[in-house]
Amino acid sequence: QVPLEESAGGSVQAGVSLRLSCAASGLTASTYCMGWFRPAAGKDREGVAKINSLGNTAYASSVRGRFAISKDNAKNIVYLQLNSLEPEDTAMYYCAAHSSSYGCFARAPDSFPDWGQGTQVTVSS
């Protein structure tokens, strides 16, 4: 059983918004370090946004001010709101989880043991 399942992404025009969700069926998102990742040039994946057990958030500089990560602890769902989308945001987006919220924002992608299967977001100009 895959513990994380992303919602469908989509193909949109530049400038519009999209919301992704990550349903955590096999873990408790409220206590975990949760993050959204996407492939990046020269890297395996980059951390787009992360949220820790306290609800504190961190973002990659490329998306800060445009994207917002949040979570619904009652539903065990983590969201990524993507606003003002740009063609450069086109990517497969992955949700990931780590059971320790300590050091959440500094965690490298390969330290996250649980991953969703990814959802494609395509932004056209």
Average pLDDT taken over every residue of the chain: 93
Q: How confident is the model at residue 2 (pLDDT cuts 50, 70, 90)?
A: low
d(CA 22, CA 70): 10
CA 77, 98, 63, 56 torsion-angle sign: positive
Q: What is the mean pLDDT of residues 48-61?
A: 96
Instruction: Check pLDDT > 70 for residue 74.
Output: yes
| Cβ atoms 40, 113 nearer than 8 A | no
